[in-house]
């Protein structure tokens, strides 16, 4: 299999080099044969082509400016709608408190629910002094799950 891939790779490289050599020969042939092409019609076509290209560029610039203007207006409209919806949903004092602090701390829940069995198993093993790796091995779950259940246990009654 290795030999086959080696031969295939070498043959594709040779084919690519040959193709590139053919393309450079064609470019040289076309660049050398410009002597027999009359100069005047070629120059006239270049001028007309450049005028058409200039008009197209102007048109495209105008269209791009219009799109930018429309996009900017839509963005402003969406921001205004978002601000109005935000002010409708959030009371004034909550909005001010949210703007004042970037870091949100967990609020204590006044009434805690009873701890589910799988969370209790993890909690009991960790209370016994076992590491997260040992608890994970004994329960047949990953360390990440043990850590997650440990953090979730804070929200339940013991």
Q: Model confidence over 28-63: pLDDT tens digits?
A: 766 655 444 444 454 544 555 678 888 888 899 999
pLDDT of residue 73: 87
Q: Phi first, then psi: what are they for 156, rounded to 5°?
A: -120, 160
Regions of the chain short of the pLDDT cut 70:
29-49, 90-111, 157-158
Closest of 117, 97, 115 to residue 107, by C-alpha: 97
Q: What is the pTM of this model?
A: 0.30
């Amino acid at each position: 299999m290795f030999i086959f891939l080696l031969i295939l790779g070498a043959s594709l490289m040779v084919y690519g080099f040959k193709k590139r050599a053919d393309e450079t020969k064609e470019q040289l042939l076309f660049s050398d044969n410009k002597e027999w092409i009359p100069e005047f019609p070629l120059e006239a076509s270049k001028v007309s082509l450049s005028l058409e290209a200039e008009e197209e560029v102007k048109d495209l610039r105008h269209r791009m400016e219009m799109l930018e203007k429309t996009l900017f207006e839509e963005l402003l409209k969406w921001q205004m709608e978002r601000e109005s919806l935000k002010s409708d949903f959030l009371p004034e004092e909550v909005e001010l408190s949210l703007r004042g602090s970037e870091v949100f701390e967990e609020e204590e829940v006044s009434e805690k629910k009873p701890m589910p069995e799988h969370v209790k198993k993890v909690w009991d093993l960790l209370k016994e002094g076992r590491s997260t790796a040992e608890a994970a091995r004994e329960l047949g779950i990953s360390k990440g799950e043990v850590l997650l259940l440990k953090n979730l246990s804070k929200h339940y009654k013991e």
